[in-house]
Amino acid sequence: MTSETTSRTKLQVEENVSPAAEVLRSVQWAEGFLLVYSVTDYMSYQCIRPLYHQIRKVHSDSKFPVIIVANKGDLLHVRQVPSDAGLQMANELGCSFVEISTSENCQDVCDVFQHLCKEITKLQAANPGEKRRGSIMPRPKSPNMQDLKRRFKQALSPKVKASTVA
C-alpha cells in the first residue's frame, strides 16, 4: 500500500515579452521558469538563450528550475525549429525540455505547469531552512487558469504576432 500526500501550490504567472530591464525586474520574485517558443518561429527560439541568461543574472543559484517548452509541435509542415535543437539547447543550459501542442491537447499546458510546481516543491523540501530571497517588487496579480490558457495560445499564434507588427 502506498500513500501519497497532496499539497497545494500557489501559482502565479507573468507573461513577459518586454525589454531586458523589465525582464530582470519581473523575474526577481519567481522560483521557477517556463521559457516558451514556437517551433514555427525561429526568432522565438533564438530568444530563449538570452532570456535564460538574463534570468540567471537575477537568480545565479542554478537550482532554480527552468523548463524550455516548444509549442506548436503539431505543425510539422511549417516547422522552423527541429525538436533536437530545443533538446540540445536545454541540455546545454541544464534545463528540462518538453515539446507540446496546445491546439491538440491543452492538458499538455497543465502538465508542464504541474511538472514545474513539482520541481519547485522538491527544491523547497531539499532546502527547508533556506529562505527565499524577498523582492522589492510586489508580485503581479495572477490571472485565472482560463485566462492563462487563452494568453498562452495567443502569445504564440501568428494572428496575434501579425496584429502587433501592423
Q: Is residue 116 part of a domain?
A: yes
Q: Is residue 13 part of a domain?
A: no
Helix (H, G, I), strand (E, B) or coil at 36: strand
Q: Is residue 6 part of a domain?
A: no
Listed in sequence order, the residues at least 6 apart from 69 whose beta carbon sits closer than 8 Å to its beta carbon are 34, 35, 36, 37, 97, 98, 99, 100, 112
- Dist. CA 64–CA 140, nearest whole Å: 20
Q: Is residue 151 part of a domain?
A: yes
**pLDDT of 34 higher than 60:** yes
Q: What is the mean pLDDT of residues 8-13?
A: 67
Q: What is the mean pLDDT of residues 114-131?
A: 81
pLDDT score at 155: 61
Q: Is residue 132 part of a domain?
A: no
Q: What rounded mean pLDDT belongs to the chain?
A: 77
Beta bridge partners of 98: 69
- Dist. CA 110–CA 165, nearest whole Å: 30
Confidence at 56, pLDDT banded by 50, 70, 90:
confident
Q: Is residue 102 part of a domain?
A: yes
**pLDDT of 132 higher than 60:** no
pLDDT score at 127: 77
- State the total domains in the chain: 1
Q: Chain-centre distance of CA 11, in angstroms?
A: 12
**Domain enclosing residue 65, as ranges:** 20-126+137-165
Indicate which CATH number applies to the domain containing 32: 3.40.50.300
Q: Is residue 40 part of a domain?
A: yes
Q: Exposed, middle or buried: residue 80 (CB in 10 Å: 0-12, 13-18, 19+)?
A: middle
**pLDDT of 129 higher than 70:** no
Tally of CB atoms within 10 A around 38: 24
pLDDT score at 77: 92
Q: Is residue 9 part of a domain?
A: no
pLDDT score at 62: 66
- 53 is written with which cell numbers? 541568461
